[in-house]
Each structure stands twice: as C-alpha cells, then as structure tokens.
Structure 1
Amino acid sequence: MKITGYSDKISTAPGETLSFMVNCELPSYQVEIVRIICGDSNPAGPGVREKVIKTSANKTYPGRKQVIESGSYVSIPLTSVLAHLESFSCQAMIWPTTPDKGQQVIMAKYQERSKAGFALVLSERDGSLALILGDGRGKQETFSTGKPLLAREWYFVAASYDAKTRAVTLHQEPLVSYPLATDAGEVHTRTTITRLGTSDTPLMFAACRTGTGKGQLAYKYNGKIDSPRLANHALSRAEMEMLKGGPVPSSLTTAVVGAWDFSRDISSQHVTDVSPNRLHGHTVNLPARGMKGYNWTGESMNWNDKPDHYGAIHFHDDDMYDAGWEVDFTLTIPATMTSGLYAARLRSGDEEDYIPFAVRPQPGKEKKIAFLLPTASYMAYANEHMGTNAGIMEVFAGRLIPLDKYALFLNEHREYGSSCYDVHSDHSGVCYSSRLRPVLNMRPKHISSLGGHGSSLWQFNADTHITDWLDALGYEFDVITDEDLHARGLEILQPYSVILSSTHPEYHSKSMWDAMMAYQRQGGRLMYMGANGWYWRIAYHPELPGVIEVRRNEGGIRTWAAEPGEYYHSFTGEYGGLWRRQGRPPQMLLGTGFTAQGFDISAPYHRLPDSFHPRADFIFAGVGKDELIGDFGLIGGGAAGLEIDRADRHLGTPPHALVLATSQGRHTDIYLVVCEELLATYPGLGGMENELVRADMVFYETPNGGAVWASSSIAWAGSLSHNTYKNNVSRITKNVLDRFLDPKPLAG
C-alpha cells in the first residue's frame, strides 16, 4: 500500500473540523468524502455501496511520505544540572524481556553523532550490562560485565564514572540466583576518557536518539525499569543501596541529580522526580504502567492499595500511541451533512484507502433510531495480526483463511502498531490500543481471517450490513459512537426510541455499561444485532484522546493473559477483565451472553414454544410455524454463527424473558464452548454434542415501556440482504424495529 491515513477524531458533528493525516508515496492523490452504506465486496451480496458527498475537501492533494516512530521511552528535558555532569553514577532495577535482541538503552544522556555523554545499556554483543562513555569529539569507550542477563528476571544494575580518577565501575546483580547461572558481574577499571562530552540531548530511559529527525529513535529497550537514579559523582556500592527505593536520604541530597518514582502518577504520562531537583519528565508512546515492580510480594494485587510495589514501567520497542503525522487536509462538517457513517476516500491510480468517521446529529435534530458504532471494539482489534501471527488460525477456523492487502501490509509494517489481540515483540500482551494511526482493518472492502466462510467480514465492515439494511428499507437513523457514549453517558441515548447495536459490541467502559442499563430502565428499547457483546471491561485514558486499555484477567476467550498482580487498569485504577467476573454478565443487560465460537460455517435457528406466546406475535408476523430462520447468509451461509450467545437465568437473563428460537444442535464441532464456562476440561465441548453451543433469540420487556430483543449471533446481519432483503431474518428484524418505534406500551 502506497497510501494510508487517519483522522484526529472518529466522531464529529456539523460545525466541527476534522483533520486528516496521509502518507502517500505517489506524487498526488484525490480525496472524495463518501457516505458508506455497504462495504462488502462479495458479489453474492449488495456489493460495495457508497455515495459521494460534495464538500470543500474533495480535491487533489500533493503526496508526501510520513513515517511512524514506534517504541516507548521516558524523556527528561535538558536542564543545567543535566548539562554539566562530569562524574556520575546511574542505577536502576530492571526486568529485561529480550536481553539478547541487540543494544538496548536503560538510561542515556548521549548524542550518537558526536559520541557525547553516557549510556547505560544492554550490550549488543552478549546482552550483558554495559556502559558507553563518549568525549564529544568522536571518541567512545564501552565497558561490559560480559555476563548475559536472563530474560524476565529482576536485576540491580549500576555504573559510575569518576572524572578525576577516570575510574569506572559496573554492578550487575540478580535478585534471585540460580545454580549454574553466571548472570552476576562486577567491573572495576579505568577509562582513557578524560572528560564527558556535552550535548543538548535530553536524558532518556529505554531508548535514545541517533539524530534529531523523526524515525531516528534507536536502541529501544524491552522490559521493565524501576527506580532509576542519577547522581553527580561516583557513588560507593553502599550509597547506591541507600538510593534503591523510597525517599532520597538526607546524606545524599546534594549528590542526587534525579530519583524517579514510576509508582506516582500511574494514570498519566507524567514521570515524577522525587529529588530536590524536580527533574520531571513524561512517557512517550504509552509504555505500560501499573506494572508490578521488583519489590512486589503478592500481598496486594491492586496498585491503588500499595503503589510502592508498582514502581515499574514496562517498555516495548513496538509501543505506539500517536503516529504524529502532519495534517494534509481538513473538513469542516457542513450543516447539510446528516448523521451517518462516512469516510475520506483516498485514491491515486490503482492505490486506494479509506479513513472512516461518524457524523453525529445536531442537538435537537435526532432521529428516532440510533446505530451505536462500536469504536471501542474497533480499537481493541485495530491492526490485529491474527491471520499472519497465529500459526493455528486455519485449524481454528476449519478452512483456508483469506489475507487481503491490508493484512499483508500490516504484516510487513509492524510500526503501524498492534491490537489488544496481539503480543509485543517480547511476547507480553498489548494492553493499550489507539486510533491515532491508520487502522487498516477498519475499512470498507476489508476481509478478515475471522469472518467465516463467504464474505469473511469482521467488526467494521460486517457492521455495514446493518447500515445497508437500514438504508435499503428506507429507515432514517443517526450514528453515534462508543466514544460519545463513554463521554456523555445516558444523555446521548435519551433522544432515541430505539438503539441498534453492532454485530460485535464487545468492549465497554463502566460509564458505557451504566448508560445502557439506565436507558433501558427509563423505557429505551435495544435491538442487540450481534453477539459477544458487553464482554470485556475497558478504560479510556483520562487525558489522552483515542486510546483504550484492556487487562485480560482470569478468564475469557483471550490471546494472552495479564500477569498476576497486573489486573487493574493503569488509566483508571479499575479492575479489568470480563464484566461477568465483576457481577455484570451480559445476560443482565442483553438477555443473552457469549457461550461459544466457531469460524467455519453458520447455522439456522428453529422456533421454540416461546415464539408462539402472544407477547411475541409481532416478532414472527409473516414467518411460518416450521420455517428455519436464516438458513442462508453471507457470513458462513447462515444467520447463527461466528460467535454466539445464549440465555441463562443463573447469569441474569430476566425471568420473564422469552427464548424465541435457537440454533442448538446445528453447529459443527469447530464451534466450542467458551472457556469461562469450564471448571474442568472434558470431552464433548463441540457444537454437535454440547447444549451450550447455541444462539438463543430472546425478547423481554423492561421498565417504563422499554424492551430488549437479541439476535445473539454475529452472523445475523449477514443474512439481512438475502433475496433482495425479502427473507425471514430481514422480516423479523423489521417487525421488531417497527414495533419498537411504536411508542405504545408492549404487551408485557
């Protein structure tokens, strides 16, 4: 791909201005703003449907290359006390995760070009502790313990330089010693460097710069750093021990340049220096915080309760928050632009990309229907690499998986960042995900390895089956996003008679969960158009826009597991993991909750006795008594598939809920019960044997005239357009929507 881009906001409204950032390796590109109706390129369906919208942004722009600088670090701005270091000592507690991956900076005040300053590093030669000294005139010397560090073990590391005697010391001390391991080392020597070179570079932890331009971040460290310290003379080993943790001893106050406490301000980018110099800094590219430190004992699992045990930051060489590209064009949303799903379509020759965004309605001009665009779930899956990283993906899906241009590009360009389903290069889980970068699987025409036989759609593009159906049947509707719901809560839902969910609204913050429950209790009506919804708890950053956090605790379908003691969100201090583990199973909000998954073929539903209850008459008007529901569709060939939900009274399905139809007994053994249902493993967990493998269609009334209807299947929306929208999946959906739009009280 030679053209990619992103915008500064995912949700906007008339009168607001969107900024677009584009990387184009061709001389120029054309922009057209389009309304996205359907993004499915499968010829068996409606096809790609989009409408060009005339705006001031529709024109040709010059192309230019913009690069992404990945890798996290801490930067301490230059001050006089840093600029005039002669002798020094530096130390930290470290937990390296890839010590054999080449030179990696722990702490550096170093300019590569002139060889000026110092850098405490992991050696490129053998992964041992090393100290680099440079005189600023091109001369550099490196000293190493020659003892490779073990991965995922805590070490005390330190180095000192005495400018008068030219004495150099290094200390590499493991907190745990193993028989036959030779990972401890100590060096006492002298250097020929008579004076450290000076430069205007900042002090940095976990990386340093080889130049001033973007893309010149180097020697990026993987692992944790805790309690870094810097002094203005060569400390003894005993003095270093006094500085390991806690406040600076009074006897060392004048010697200490900086003593950084990463257990403070965990929910921010701020890095606090507790020394009198107050050399505060900031993190870049969101390294993981709320991480257990070298002194964590397990007596507290919550960093809020014992923050001094959480003094570590986990840095990764592939962390990425904001691509930081320059703005190429802007769009001020005109008053005539109705609420909906849009994109800036970028084209240059055969090259094409889309930058999607939602337009909210003007206050007071809301329609009766709102489609809730699950932008938090899109961010959780943003730029996922499962199709190329997961070696068992084809076994998992029971079929050959497709890889489109986006998947292949992301496999080659890891600097575009990862999803919360990926692991970092050091195999630790990715717990933060941002939209301030090109999110290439949030595109029309994209196909996914997870999308099932047929159209093979997942998340964003699968959701265009819903917008397509609403458009085809002539419904007027607004589009609001998860970010809007998180920020504004119940207020943004209140104008609407009906909320339609997406196919896979999996990730929700507490404010989002609370708002949807309050909406129902006040008489709102929800159509749950998918499955595996309201599953993971997330946190939004309190300061930074466009980023979420996921801690994959204890149970649930997950591609990595949070480390014990790291279950609480760093952004908010809230406990992470499944909502079910926190007393809020999806059944409480939706009537059904995640029960099984499979990615080969989908199945139909058959009606159950509850479907003939008078309360459900409106749902099945025009549907035959013995009709199979959805034995067709673009997603796996059926309406019940991919991920499916079931009713369960013990998990919160209301006692008066009607279980109208089910797909039980119709799935293959590729479909398996989700792991949170298992207290022990046992045979018979597949779709042909286990009663928990089923999608249950559910309806029930809520207080004050509200109601919930649940399809309980991600594949449901893929069946809506069958036979030019004349089918029983479309009919049932229309019956429910029409009745939910009618303000008359429901029969219950």
Structure 2
Amino acid sequence: MSIQDHKPPGVIGYVTPLSARPGERLDFKISSLGDRAITANVMRLDCCDPNPLGPGLKSEQVEFGLSAVYPAREQKTYLGSCAFGELPTIPVTQDLTVELTVRPGFVSATDQTIFSLQDNAGTTGVALIIRNGRLFLKNLRSPAQLEDLDLSLKLKAWCKLEVSFSDGDVSMRTSHIGTSKIEETSRSFTGMRGALVGVDHICLAALWNGHPKDCYNGTIEAPRLSVASQEAPESGRTIIAQWPFTDSGNSEWVSDDIDPSLGLQLINLPMRAVRSSSWTGQHMDWKVAPEEYAAITFHSDDLSDCAWETTIALTVPDGMPSGVYGLVIDNEIATDTIPFYVLPGANSQRQKIVFLAPTLTYMAYANHARGNFAGPLEARVKDWGAYPHNPEVVGSFGYSTYNRHPDGTGVTISSRLRPIMTMRPGYLVYFDERGSGMRGFPADSHLTDWLTTKGFAFDVLTDEDLDRDGVDALSPYDVVLTGSHPEYHTRRTIDAILAYRQAGGRLMYLGGNGFYWKIGRDQTLPHILELRRAEGGMRVWASKPGEYYNQLDGEYGGLWRRNGIPPQAVAGVGFTAEGNFEGTYYLRTNESFAEELAFLFEGISADERLGDFGLSGGGAAGFEIDQACTELGTPEFVTVVAASEGHGSSFETTYEELLTPGVIDGGPRPYGGMRSNIVYGLDENGGGLFSVGSITFCGSLSHNGYDNNISRLLENCLRKFLSTPRRAGDPHAPSSTDTIPPIGSHSHDT
C-alpha cells in the first residue's frame, strides 16, 4: 500500500498505557496543527454510536483535575524501518568494502536506500540506492548528485552486492544467487572523493536523518565491512564489522560479531524470522536453523512507535470507578477523543461483572484502510457528524494487519503507540443500509451502554491486562463479558479464560469470530502485537511457508484451531461462516423448551423471531457467525438454545471447516449449515457458558428503548449467572456484595 502525503488532522493523539488503576499515570501524546494550545476534559464513554435512529452518542464528563489550557505542538510521524548504529573507526588510508545480500521487494521511481555510510545527522557520507531497479550512488553532501552504476537488481530475487571505496574510485560486483550471472563495474567518481571522511555510522534500509528517510522495501542479510589487510595485503581483507542477523528473536538490536558494543538499533520493528537466501525448506522453525533465517525484511511503512512527546500526563484520581473513558481535546480548529480504560483500584471491592475489552483485536484492526470510504460512507460520516478521519485519507499513522506493505506482503506488526483512528467514538466502518456500520471499539459500546442503562455495575479489564496478570485478573468476578469480536488472543489470555471457567467462572461470549487467530507478544514491548497468518483460515493475506513462527515470542502462529485450542473449547462455539455486513434472526430450538431452561426465555413468546432488528446490519445474527461442535471442544454441559436462519447468498463457510467443497470437517451438526448457534449451560463445577455466535448481536440490545427479546434474553441469562452461587469452597469466589438491579430497571433516562 502506497503512502501518500495528506493534510494531517487538526488535532489527534494517543495514550500509553491504554489502561490504568487509580493512582497510576497515563501519558497522552498529542499533535496540534500549528502548535495551537489545547483544552481537555475527561468523559465517561457510554454509547459511541452516532446513528440518529439509535440511542445516539452518550457520554458524561468526570472530574480528573485537568488544567484549563495545555501548550501543544505539531508532532511528526516518520514511517519506515531500518537498522542504524555506530561504526568502528575506518582508516582513511585503507579502502573499504561493504558486502551484503539483498532481495528487493518493490520497485519504484522513488529512491530506496539499501545502505548509507554516514555521519550521525546524515549530512555527509555515501548511500547506495535503488531507483526503478537500477543502482546508484548518492553523495550525501550533494544529495541531488547521483552516480549511475549501470547495474540493476531483479525484483524479488537474491543478489550479493560488493561495493568497494578507494578514495574517489568505486567498484561494484553483483552476484545473482541461483544463477551464474555476475556483473561488475569500476568507476572513478570525482564527486565521491573524500565522501567517506567523517563517516562514523551505518544505516541499513534507509538514510538516517534523525529518522528514517528514503526507505527500502526488501530483505537484507549478512552485511559486513572490511578493509585491506595492512599486515599481509596479498592475503586478503580484515573484517571490521559484521552483523549476521541470526538472532531472529531480538526485535530491537542486531549485534556486531566483531565488536558487540557497536550493535545496530532496529527502528520501527522490521520483520525478522524470515527466510534468508540459504533457506532449504527442510526447517520451518527459525529457532531450529537460525542460519537459514539470517535476514531482515524492511518496509517503508513500518511503524512501531510515533515517539511523540507527552503533552498531558494524567494520574487517575483515587476512587475513580472502573470503566471506559476518553480524553476530549480541542484546539479551536478540531477535536479528538482518545479512549482509555480505568481499571478497578488495587484494593477496591470488585463488581460481580467484568467487561473484557478486546483491545488486542482493536490493535490488529488498527487503521485498517478498506478501500470503501469514498462515496456513500463518506457522505454518511458527514451527515451524522461521525468521526471524520479515515486511514484511506490519512495514511500517516501506519496501517493494520489486514493491509499489505508496498511489496505486497501482509503487515505482521501492529502498535498502539500511534493514533488509532479506527478506535474512536463514532468511527464508521461500512455504509450499513440497515444500521450503523460500526465494528470494534465503538460497536462494543452497544454492550457497555446496555449494562449502564440496565443498572448492572461492572468493572473493565483489557486483553493486555489479562495477558499480563493471567487468571488472577478474572477470578474475583462472577461473570466475564466479552465484546462483539474478541478475535485475537495470546496463549496467556486463552489459558486465563479456560482456567477461569474451570474454577467455576461464567463466560458470556457476546460476539462472533472470537478466539480465532493466535498472536505473539513480548512483555518487554507491551505496545506491540505480531500476527503470522499460517496455514488456513479466512485471511486477506498468507504468511510465506517457513515464516509461521513469531519473532516476538518464537511460538507458532496461525489459527488457535491449528494450535490445538479451537474456539469451541473456549466459548462453546467457533467461527463457521461469514458474509456481507448484514444480520438476520434466531429461532428457538426444540431443546430450548426444556423446563430447566424456561427462565432463559421468560418474557419472550415461544414463536418469536429473536433479533430481527438492530443497529448492526439490521439483525442480531450476522456478518461473522459461529456454531457449536462437540468434536472441536463444545462442552457437554451446554445446549444449543437458538439457531439463526435466513442468511443471504453472500455467506460462505470458512475454509478451515471444509475438507472438500461442501464436506464439513467433523460431519453434520444438529444446527449446522449456514447458521449461528446460541448456547447456554451450567457446568457441574458451577461454571457457565452463554455464547451468541454473532458479531452483530450486541447491535440489537438498544432496539425499542432496550425493550426487546435480545435484550431480555441477555438480561435473563446474566441474572441467572449472578444469582447462582459459585461452587462451595471455590478459591476464586468473588468478594463483591453488589445487589442485582430489579428487572426492567434503567439507571438513567434513555
């Protein structure tokens, strides 16, 4: 995906960390166009849906001890990855040779720097660049001066380069790996005379100018520098710096074999654990054969950290209730709302309910440019006063793991240390003719707004908190509620949810396509997630064979189903089919009429269509839908109580479900086919499951002033889970003593 220059938003920012407890600090990094001062206040975010036919945007200001005005400045973002570091002293009397092997991934008319030998500021030195596939030398003292080497590189083919500098003379040799083709050139460039004087740094894959510039899209392996041997000139050369690139698990540094104190810093997390030119295909795990993965792939749109300065530092006030909040900033020409989460205080009493915000999924989709903004969607954004910025128009903050780099490969790294436009109140994803067209963060406010309106007190945790703290983060709660699309999980988050259920906890999975992709994280880089789309699955790009193992944690990527934990084993249902962003309804199953399940449908007629309405696609069952499957781990204690019908022709079965077209892996299911399943059950250990198997379910909760059969079904189940005692002697039993609000109660007018 090409990066274009666009006028930046008038004001925009991000926060780190994403969540904090009372007494802890949040740093807001803000860019204000024209260095305009800003005002700020904190709002509790209840409903983030701008649809005028729904509840509307709902928020409430809270006191956070903010100042009246804050100085701010415009802060730049620089995309592109590289490796930059200090060089040993280069004897000026000796010639210097740079050797490295490259595989260009993208050819363009713009300059792409393969390497630069330079001073720290990038004002002196020499750079080898590729333009339209041809190689040139650039004198950094006179950047407009290019020397044509009369050599070219083939797209996506390995080639070893040797560039030798001796005063004003430059010679170069290219050896095309896999062929017998060798090309050489030797030139005397007057303009290059003395170009290496003052050189003390090297930058691979970019020119370093305080930030990456003229970035390279492609792979580099085995760079090294050598000088002629003074002791025995006839015997060859002395290596003065060498970076083998074999440690694929180190995402921030590359060591120098000759002088470890002079390692290279990896800027913007380029892709490691990639195949090198020596990959044989016999080893699929980089940890087993590191010499076959001794390469790094760089991209001109990589971004791991905007590295902005802190504009506002907030400490969460003591006693601040756990919840979803936003810092609203205004510089008189524009506004922005930066969401964040307040966790329950370390020593505070917990509520009975916790909402597990799927922030890792928000990160995976962060700044997803979909190619659908121009036209009706853009017009609706203006008509509704929805969030105005879209990654298709503002491309300066990087893209999502659903987009591709300029070389056509998928984006594997996502970061929260950048403005995430898709994680904003009022952000619209689709032009939804029957609803709002929201997903992710704003769509999940359909649930939190319902909880608030119905008077159910709740705490909030994020996926990142769960990944850090494990099951102990969940154990105080009677009920854990997910959002509408908790798709991306680490091994630690999956293990924590399973342990919580096994200890008698109740999980309410209120979405679709959940617990699907496995992601990698490094606890020393908590702002980063990594995705390798291995083997099967519904995917917009596929990882290359041999590149299925993460660089961040060394684990195998891909689907959780391919990693031995299908979604059904976690939530009772798993991703089965998807179609257009449209919804339909459920019907009750015969099993749902069992006497012990009567409470679940109290107040709902036996023949009602459940959820043939809603703000997400017009129906509670839609877009991405899940089914129960005993063979894949659906627990025996759950019952399919409702199944959807009426899905349109756009819906198709997920690839991993099929053995051959039309043949489902595992055979027919009681409520299979193109249907979503709602399951309910209480385990003998006191644990419980209620899963709806649809992304669009929560969009139906507010229909008819929150008085509808989807709202009633959810309320009936939640009340059952809250009123049923946990297993006697359960060490994870909650300490909360909150009362359950009366049926039909509303905490405020809607």
1:29 to 2:38 alignment: yes
- The residue number in structure 2 matching 1:226 is 221
Task: Specify the alignment match of 2:737 in structure 1.
Answer: none
- Matched with 1:176 is 178
Q: Which amino acid aligns with 2:28?
A: F
Select which of 576, 582, 598 maps to 2:563: 582
User: 1:631 aligns to what?
Assistant: 612
Kindly report which structure 2 residues correspond to 1:182-197, keeping only aligned pairs within 5 A, or say none.
185-192=183-190, 193-197=192-196
- Which residue does 1:160 correspond to in 2? 164
Aligned to 1:668: 648
Q: Is the 8 A contact 1:645 1:695 kept in 2?
A: yes
Aligned twin of 2:201: 202
Corresponding position: 1:42 with 2:23: no
Q: How far apart in 1 are the matches of 2:489 and 2:573?
A: 16
Q: Is the 8 A contact 1:451 1:458 kept in 2?
A: no
Q: Is the 8 A contact 1:647 1:653 kept in 2?
A: yes
How far 1:265 sits from its partner (Å)? 5.1
Instruction: State how far apart, in whole Å, the 2-side matches of 1:85 and 1:628 are.
Output: 86
Q: Which amino acid is the alignment partner of residue 247 of structure 2?
A: R
Cα displacement (A) at 1:84: 5.6
Q: Distance in 2 between matches of 1:83 and 1:735?
A: 79
CA distance in 2, matches of 1:113, 1:19: 29
Q: Which residue of 1 aligns with 2:344?
A: 361
Single out whichever of 478-487 and 185-194 deviates more from structure 2: 185-194
- 1:611 aligned residue: 592
Q: How far apart, in 2, do the equivalents of 1:627 and 1:145 lie?
A: 76
Q: Distance in 2 between matches of 1:413 and 1:113?
A: 29
Equivalent residues of 1:646, 1:692 under 8 A apart: no
CA distance in 1, matches of 2:710, 2:93: 73
Q: CA 1:682/1:176 → structure 2, altered by over 3 Å: closer, same or farther?
A: farther
Matching residue's letter, 2:509: Y
- 1:260-288 CA-to-partner distances (Å, cap 9, x unmatched) read 01111523311011125652121010100
Q: Are residues 658 and 54 of structure 1, via their aligned partners in 2, closer, same or farther at CA, if it must alter by over 3 Å?
A: same
Residues 122-147 of structure 1 deviation map (CA, whole Å, 9 limit, x = unaligned): 2x3x422334456x6x5997544423
Q: Deviations over 1:175-228 (max 9, x none)?
A: 1349xxxx853102333344334336621100013x44x5xx322100000001
Counterpart residue type for residue 708 of structure 1: L
Give me the whole-angstrom Cα distance separating, in 1, the residues matched to 2:134 and 2:301.
22
Does the aligned pair in 1 maintain the 2:625–2:693 contact within 8 Å?
yes
Select the residue among 253, 264, 272 that pairs with 2:255: 272
One-letter amino acid matched to 1:188? S
- One-letter identity of the residue aligned with 2:172: L
Tell me, in whole angstroms, the C-alpha distance in 2 between the residues paired with 1:701 and 1:267. 45
C-alpha change, 1:139 and 1:454, in structure 2 (3 Å) is closer
In the alignment, structure 1 segments of 5+ residues that lack a partner are 240-250, 685-689
1:95-494 maps to which residues of 2 (within 5 A)? 95-110=103-118, 116-122=124-130, 124=131, 126-132=132-138, 142-163=146-167, 166-177=168-179, 185-192=183-190, 193-199=192-198, 202-209=201-208, 211-212=209-210, 217-233=212-228, 255-264=238-247, 266-276=249-259, 278-349=261-332, 351-364=334-347, 365-388=349-372, 409-449=390-430, 453-494=434-475
Alignment partner of 1:719 out of 680, 700, 725: 700
Matched, 1:16 2:58: no
Deviation at 1:453, TM superposition (A): 3.6
- Seen in structure 2, the aligned counterparts of structure 1 residues 203 and 510 have a Cα distance that, compared at 3 Å, is same
Of 729-738 and 169-178, more deviation after overlay is shown by: 169-178
Contact 1:72 1:315 in 2 (8 A): yes
Measure, in 2, the Cα distance between the counterparts of 1:357 and 1:289.
Answer: 31
SS at 2:279 equivalent: coil
Shift of 1:43: 1.4
> 1:383 touches 1:440 (CA, 8 Å); kept in 2?
yes
Q: Which amino acid aligns with 2:586?
A: Y
Task: Give the structure-2-normalised TM-score.
Answer: 0.89
Number of residue equivalences: 706
Q: 1:231 to 1:452 in 2, by over 3 A?
A: farther
Shift of the alpha carbon at 1:615?
A: 3.2
User: Are 2:68 and 1:64 aligned?
Assistant: no
Tell me the alpha carbon deviations over residues 49-90 of structure 1, each in whole angstroms, 9 at most, x when there is no partner: 1010112225322342111011000011255x2586852000
Name the amino acid aligned to 2:176: P
Which AA in structure 2 matches 1:35? R
Contact 2:389 2:421 in 1 (8 A): no
Amino acid at match of 1:726: D
Aligned to 1:242: none
SS in 1 for 2:659: coil
Question: Which deviates more from structure 2 when the two are superposed, residues 293-302 or residues 624-633?
Answer: 624-633
Conserved 8 A contact 2:354-2:480: yes
1:508 aligns with 2:492: no
Distance 2:599 2:492 in 1: 33
* Other structure's SS at 1:723 match: helix
Deviation at 1:348, TM superposition (A): 3.4
Residue equivalent to 1:90: 98
SS in 2 for 1:467: helix
- For the 8 Å contact 2:638–2:689, the answer to whether it is kept is no
**CA shift digits 1:318-364 (9 cap, x unpaired):** 00011111111111000121100001011234622111011100134
- Residues 185 and 449 of structure 1: is their aligned pair in 2 closer, same or farther, counting only changes over 3 Å? farther
How many angstroms apart in 2 are the aligned matches of 1:407 and 1:586?
35
Q: 1-side partners of 2:66 and 2:271: how far apart?
A: 38
Partner of 1:705: 686
Q: Give the Cα–Cα distance (whole angstroms) in 2 for the partners of residues 20 and 268 of structure 1.
A: 25
What's the CA shift for 1:630?
0.7
Unaligned stretches of 5+ residues in structure 2: 1-8, 665-670, 728-750
SS of match in other structure, 2:42: strand
Distance 2:41 2:93 in 1: 55
In structure 2, distance between residues paired with 1:288 and 1:84? 35
2:743 maps to what in 1? none
Give the Å deviation of 1:449: 2.3
Contact map agreement 1:497 1:524 (CA 8 A) in 2: yes
* Alpha carbons of structure 1 residues 677 and 400: separation in structure 2 relative to 1, 3 Å: farther
State whether residues 57 and 329 of structure 1, in contact with CA within 8 Å, keep that contact through their aligned partners in structure 2. Answer: no
Change (3 A) 1:713 1:141: closer
Deviations 1:286-340 (A, max 9, x none): 1001011010010001101111100111100000011111111111000121100
Residues in 2 aligned to 1:208 and 1:725: alpha-carbon distance in whole angstroms: 57
For 1:204 and 1:170, how far apart are their aligned partners in 2? 19
TM-score (norm 1): 0.89
Return closer, same or farther for 1:140/1:344 CA change in 2, 3 Å cut-off: closer
1:54 aligned residue: 63
SS at match of 1:699: strand
Question: What code does the residue aligned with 2:648 have?
Answer: T
